[in-house]
Amino acid sequence: MCWGMQKPDSTWFVFLALTFAVVGMTGLFVTFAAPIALQRAVLRDEVLDAALAALAAPDPARALEALRPRLDDSAAALLPIGGDMEARIAGERVAMHGRFMLDHEATARRLRWLMAVVTLGSGGFGLAILASAGRGRGKGDRAG
């Protein structure tokens, strides 16, 4: 066989399968982490729509101030109220989409690296264990 070793027993193949299962679990994590930027952008779009609606309230300044926690970093661009608020909200929407696109690209890049490292690490670890098991069995067979 390759590497001059005897075939490992099925226990080691199960172990190898489990090392690749780690990759699958990492992939599952990725499916939750990847859409975070999109979810944040959708929620921010909703609050910017609420900010537009707040301009029609009897006290727009107070209504907009009530949205501050949900506006997060967009609050600095919209508060205090003044000037052409509709244009300010539209401008912040464009800026926010740009920020979240950069966030999405950075997250996707990190997740790709995570998957590559975990895949290679799991495969290498599994192969090392199988090679070690094969050498160990070969020595035991020769001694007996």
Q: Distance (Å, rounded) from C-alpha 120 to C-alpha 124?
A: 6
In 3-state terms, what secondary structure has residue 6? coil
| Closest by Cα among 57, 37, 141 to 97 | 37
pLDDT at 142 over 80: no
How does DSSP assign 5-40, residue by residue?
-PPPPHHHHHHHHHHHHHHHHHHHHHHHHTTHHHHH
Residue 3 is predicted with a pLDDT of 54
Determine what percent of the chain falls in helix, strand and coil, rounding each to the nearest 5: 85, 0, 15
Residue 55 is predicted with a pLDDT of 94
Q: Distance (Å, rounded) from C-alpha 143 to C-alpha 92?
A: 76
The residue ranges of every structural domain in the chain are: 11-139
Q: Distance (Å, rounded) from C-alpha 49 to C-alpha 43?
A: 10
**What pTM was computed for the model?**
0.67
The percent of residues in the chain predicted with pLDDT above 90, rounded, is: 47
Q: List, in sequence order, every beta strand (DSSP E) within the chain.
A: none
The CA dihedral of 38, 41, 47, 52, to the nearest 10 degrees, is: -130
Residue 141 is predicted with a pLDDT of 52
- The C-alpha R_g of the chain, in whole angstroms, comes to 28
Residue 126 is predicted with a pLDDT of 76
Residue 119 is predicted with a pLDDT of 81
The two tokens of residue 96 are 């926010």
pLDDT in tens, 2-59: 555 566 677 777 877 887 788 788 888 888 888 888 899 999 999 999 999 999 999 9
Residue 50 is predicted with a pLDDT of 96
pLDDT in tens, 101-118: 999 999 889 988 988 888
